[in-house]
Amino acid sequence: MNALAVARAIVLSEPSARVLVCCAEVSTAHFHYSDRLDQLIANTLFADGCAACVVGASADPSRPAILATHARLFPATAGEMGWLVGDHGFEMMLGARVPEHLEHGVGPWVDGALAEHGLSRGKVGGWAIHPGGPRVIDAVLASLGLPTSSGHCSREVLRRHGNMSSATLLFIIRDLLEAGIPRPWAGMAFGPGLAGELLLLA
């Protein structure tokens, strides 16, 4: 999402600009045999993927507009997720409490960000929740008090393609667009830190 935030800033400063954002992930390069549970989970969840979008100034209402981006660190979670450099590439460090931290922290954070733009959960038409795994989707939906159906596009992308790291969110946004889900949309992703990023599309 940092790339989308930078692309938006470039276009706001130079309206004639067109910014190509590419997300290419080769997660299988880090696949290796291990008897560690977190590594086994990472091996089953992560997949290769690539997605791209062009950000520019447009008055076309059929195209999503980047309304805002927000980021935060969740307190006391530094050891819950990370990448370690190992002998055979990066090794995923994934704590069992990640969903718990998200369930407690996502709701207040998202509510505050939405309020800054005159929005609330009930006004959001579509949710693009980065599927770190099924439990991550469940935790975010629970934190936001949303029905299971709000995570449909996220679950479908995870089922069809796996967790493609940064490319995954663009796959979900594409599915929201193709399904004709009314905007605004809220997209979110989580990573080492434990960090969260939020994207609001109008």
Contact 187, 175 (CB under 8 A): no
- Asked if residues 81 and 95 have their Cβ atoms less than 8 Å apart, the reply is yes
Q: What is the mean pLDDT of the chain?
A: 92
Q: Which of 122, 59, 114, 90 is nearest to 191 (CA)?
A: 90
**Long-range CB contact pairs, 139-143, < 8 A, 24+:** 139/98, 139/99, 139/100, 139/102, 139/103, 139/106, 140/102, 140/103, 140/106, 140/188, 142/103, 143/102, 143/103, 143/104, 143/105, 143/106, 143/107, 143/110
Residue 161 belongs to a domain with what CATH number?
3.40.47.10
Count up the domains in the chain and report the number. 1
125: Cβ contacts below 8 Å, ≥ 6 apart: 181, 182, 183, 184, 185
The whole model's pTM is what? 0.91
Query: Tokens 């549970």 map to which residue?
Result: 37
C-alpha to C-alpha distance for 76 and 120, rounded to whole angstroms? 27
| pLDDT tens column, 15-59 | 999 999 999 999 887 777 777 776 777 777 889 999 999 999 988
What is the DSSP-derived secondary structure letter of residue 145?
T
Q: Which amino acid is at 69?
A: T
Q: What is the pLDDT of residues 105-133, one digit of tens each?
A: 999 999 999 999 999 999 999 999 999 88
pLDDT in tens, 52-91: 999 999 888 899 999 999 999 999 998 888 777 877 777 7
CA distance 86 to 38: 14
Whole domain around residue 132: which residue ranges? 2-190+197-201
Distance, in Å, from the CA atom of 173 to the CA atom of 8, rounded to the nearest integer, reads 17
Task: Compute the radius of gyration of the chain from its Cα atoms.
Answer: 17
Strands 81-86 and 66-73: unpaired
Identify each DSSP E strand in the chain by its residue range: 18-25, 49-56, 66-73, 81-86, 89-94, 126-129, 185-191, 195-201
